[in-house]
Amino acid sequence: MKFVSRYTAHQPDENFVVDYTLSEHQIWQCLYTRQEKILPGRAVNAFISGLQLLKMSRTHIPQIPQINEQLKQLSDWQVKPVAAVISSEAFFTLLSQGYFPVATFIRSQDDLDYITEPDIFHELFGHVPLLTHSSYANFIKKYAKIALTFPKHDWNAFLRLFWFTIEFGLIETEDGLRIYGGGILSSYGETRSCLTSDASLRAQFDPVSILRTPYRIDRIQPLYFVIKDFLVLQQIIDLDFANILSRVHELGMFPPLYEPDNPVNVKSKDTTC
């Protein structure tokens, strides 16, 4: 079934500026403030450093030109406004060109703790800070270029590996296990649970296992893959994806670790703004 967004992206003006409402800014402030409090000791240090370097507003949704002006000084990446949902081809094409797609809507109060589609908080707060880290940023661009060299029927596999790394990846550090996946870093519920919850499994990074692992976008992840350091992302670029995909096809998919049509409730009474 084709995914249909519940949100409508804002249309920026000719200067790529969006006129957000007061209530939308308040949602951003709530999300930013909550995440800023719980990420120390959970997020990888490179993310914390990137967030500080970008100097994003805590009280107002940043405008695309503001973010791009900051990024010019810190990396060779830019962000680009997109509709709520874009195709795999558009996604990989933008990344391959050094543009990180940013949906221009922000979640509603009902979706504060977990949202099933990427909003502007997920993109700007969850991903952009690590674009200031060269290994992370270089991996995304090169990985997208590789994906585009494969037939369209293989793109879901490349999206799957992206999901278990850039979106929901964990990393080993000298200080212990930390989060680098933007899907976690922008989610209050998952940030608090992913490192310690007995309801989730944590496994060492293995590309064949990742590509055999089913996932859902509408629930807390039951399994996270852990990389030893950011150099692993660079090593992924050198993988023989043709052979890996052939092996995955031969072995088939693992049984899902979640109950069908039984999404995890990530909301709690103490998390409203």
State pLDDT tens for residues 116-170: 889 999 999 999 999 999 999 999 999 999 999 999 999 999 999 999 999 999 9
SS3 letters across the chain: CCCCCCCCCCCCCCCCCCCCCHHHHHHHHHHHHHHHHHCCCCECHHHHHHHHHHCCCCCCCCCHHHHHHHHHCCCCCEEEEECCCCCHHHHHHHHHCCEEEEECCCCCHHHCCCCCCCCHHHHHHHHHHHHHCHHHHHHHHHHHHHHCCCCHHHHHHHHHHHHHHHHCCEEEECCEEEECCHHHHCCHHHHHHCCCCCCCEEEECCHHHHHCCCCCCCCCCCEEEEECCCHHHHHHHCCCHHHHHHHHHHHCCCCCCCCCCCCCCCCCCCCCC
8 Å CB contact between 140 and 195:
no
Reported as a pLDDT band with limits 50, 70 and 90, residue 218 is: confident
pLDDT for the residue 267: 42
8 Å CB contact between 60 and 24:
no
Q: What is the pLDDT of residues 22-51, one digit of tens each?
A: 999 999 999 999 999 999 999 999 999 999
200 φψ region: left (φ > 0), alpha (ψ -120 to 50), beta (else)? beta
**In whole angstroms, what is the distance from residue 58 CA to residue 199 CA?**
32
Residue with token string 């805590």: 58
What top-level class would CATH report for the domain 22-251? Answer: mainly alpha
8 Å CB contact between 92 and 247:
no
pTM above 0.85, yes or no: yes
- Tell me the residue type at 141: K
**In whole angstroms, what is the distance from residue 248 CA to residue 136 CA?**
25
Q: What is the pLDDT of residues 183-204, one digit of tens each?
A: 999 999 899 999 999 989 999 9
**In whole angstroms, what is the distance from residue 258 CA to residue 249 CA?**
22
